[in-house]
């Protein structure tokens, strides 16, 4: 029996090491390629270790330093405001649904679930937000459409409340004279830190990585988030290289297009990689507990 346990542990460790490598190696290749010279990348391809170190891609990114700094500031503000608004709306929707004495509870749950299966589509959504709500070329265009609330997170938080907040605790608080707001703020939320951290991380990632809202609703540089700005820079480089002639051809040839793509990816993902370790323990606990029971 002991030998079987040891064998299982060895195999388990080997599998986990392989899985970690599968996750880590793409990031190493991405960073290594971003600091490798363009000619080396074209001639020899990607590598985990840079063979000819060259920071030309980052130098090109820094030529628009002011725009990049503004893009980061906009993205940080949008991510913070959007994540906070999403969290508040999610909790305010999930908590009543978790209460079994809520009138028409199943009707509200069905309406919520229905939105996960059907939606109006991109064109009707664009017409609604741009013509009737007039959010085009405003910061609200980066916050509201598609990201303000997600039915999946509401269901996940509701499931957590039902599975991990004992009814006896809520009844005891009600007997002591606590109202619904006091129960939610002073009892339910302090007992729900794992799922709250999970929602913050997932929603924050969506806001940080989002570039479609900027593509649809933004056409002024001063409103570009970092993802939209980096995507626009890549499009400009690709257009310059495809239509270059004469002097512009020499300029296009000097731009490290392949390394630039990797540098853009590093610039976009680096802040997330820095923050994630601080929320990892809550994320693992919240995503498992909140998704086991339905």
Residues 263 and 131 in one domain: yes
Domain finish residue from 54, 78, 99: 54
Say what the pLDDT of residue 294 is. Answer: 42
Residue 34 CA to residue 22 CA, distance in Å, equals 19
Residues 249 and 284 in one domain: yes
Closest alpha carbon to 86 in 157, 38, 174, 166:
157
Residues 117 and 230 in one domain: yes
Residues 37 and 178 in one domain: no
Query: In 3-state terms, what secondary structure has residue 1?
Result: coil
Q: What is the pTM of this model?
A: 0.77
Say what the pLDDT of residue 84 is. Answer: 93
Domain finish residue from 54, 71, 87: 54
Domain finish residue from 35, 54, 73: 54
Say what the pLDDT of residue 260 is. Answer: 75
Q: Look up the CATH number of the domain holding residue 80.
A: 1.10.3720.10
Residues 117 and 217 in one domain: yes
Residues 200 and 92 in one domain: yes
Say what the pLDDT of residue 219 is. Answer: 86
Residues 207 and 232 in one domain: yes
Residues 81 and 174 in one domain: yes
Please give the residue range of the domain that contains residue 28. 1-54
Residues 217 and 104 in one domain: yes
Phi/psi for 54 (5° steps) reads -155, 125
Q: What is the pLDDT of residues 20-41, one digit of tens each?
A: 888 888 888 888 888 888 777 7
Residues 105 and 24 in one domain: no
Residues 100 and 132 in one domain: yes
Low-confidence ranges of the chain (pLDDT < 70): 1-4, 64, 236-257, 279-294
Say what the pLDDT of residue 292 is. Answer: 45
Helix 257-292 and helix 151-164, axial crossing angle in degrees, nearest 10: 40
Number of domains in the chain: 2
Contact 87, 197 (CB under 8 A): no
Residues 21 and 75 in one domain: no
């Amino acid at each position: 029996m002991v030998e079987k346990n040891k064998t299982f542990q060895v195999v388990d460790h080997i599998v986990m090491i392989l899985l970690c490598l599968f996750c880590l190696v793409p990031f190493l290749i991405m960073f290594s390629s971003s600091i490798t010279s363009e000619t080396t990348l074209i001639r020899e391809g990607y590598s985990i270790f840079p063979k000819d170190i060259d920071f030309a891609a980052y130098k090109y990114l820094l030529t628009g330093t002011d725009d990049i700094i503004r893009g980061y500031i906009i993205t940080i503000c949008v991510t913070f405001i959007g994540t906070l608004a999403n969290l508040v709306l999610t909790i305010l929707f999930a908590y009543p649904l978790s209460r079994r004495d809520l009138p028409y509870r199943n009707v509200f749950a069905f309406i919520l679930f229905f939105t996960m299966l059907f939606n109006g589509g991109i064109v009707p959504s664009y017409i609604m937000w741009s013509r009737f709500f007039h959010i085009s070329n405003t910061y609200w265009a980066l916050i509201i459409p598609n990201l303000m609330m997600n039915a999946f997170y509401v269901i996940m938080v509701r499931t957590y409340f039902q599975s991990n907040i004992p009814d006896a605790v809520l009844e005891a608080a009600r007997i002591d004279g606590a109202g619904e707001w006091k129960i939610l703020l002073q009892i339910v939320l302090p007992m729900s830190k794992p799922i709250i951290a999970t929602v913050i991380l997932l929603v924050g990632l969506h806001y940080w990585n989002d570039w479609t809202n900027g593509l649809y609703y933004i056409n002024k540089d001063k409103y570009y988030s970092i993802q939209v700005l980096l995507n626009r820079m890549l499009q400009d480089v690709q257009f310059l290289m495809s239509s270059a002639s004469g002097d512009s051809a020499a300029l296009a040839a000097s731009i490290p297009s392949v390394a630039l793509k990797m540098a853009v990816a590093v610039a976009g993902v680096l802040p997330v990689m820095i923050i994630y370790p601080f929320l990892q323990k809550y994320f693992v606990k919240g995503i498992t507990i909140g998704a086991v029971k339905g």
